[in-house]
Amino acid sequence: MKTQKGQITLVNFLAIFVTFILYMILVPVLTPMIETLVVQLSGTPNEVTPAIIMLLRLMPFVLLLAIVLTTFNYAIPRREGM
């Protein structure tokens, strides 16, 4: 049986690299905005406020996770003709 190698191309690698650089630029901008929104939501809480705050604080991690999962998706070997 033939071994399959990863399929990440130079173009895909470049796109992932640029996306990661943009992520690193975006997180310092996004964090104060999230904290401001958390303070505003905490001022007038309701029954879903803790869940919304948790989702807002997880957003930078979720963005990074999406970038990593996209990288793995690009690197998975594909069968030819499928």
Check pLDDT > 90 for residue 3: no
Closest by alpha carbon to 18, among 70, 54, 79, 82?
Answer: 70
Higher pLDDT, 76 or 27: 27
pLDDT at 36: 96
Size (the chain), residues: 82
Q: What is the pLDDT of residues 28-73, one digit of tens each?
A: 999 999 999 999 999 999 999 999 999 999 999 999 999 999 998 8
Backbone phi, psi, residue 33, to 5°: -65, -40
| Distance separating alpha carbons of residues 3 and 21, to the nearest angstrom | 33
What is the model's pTM?
A: 0.80
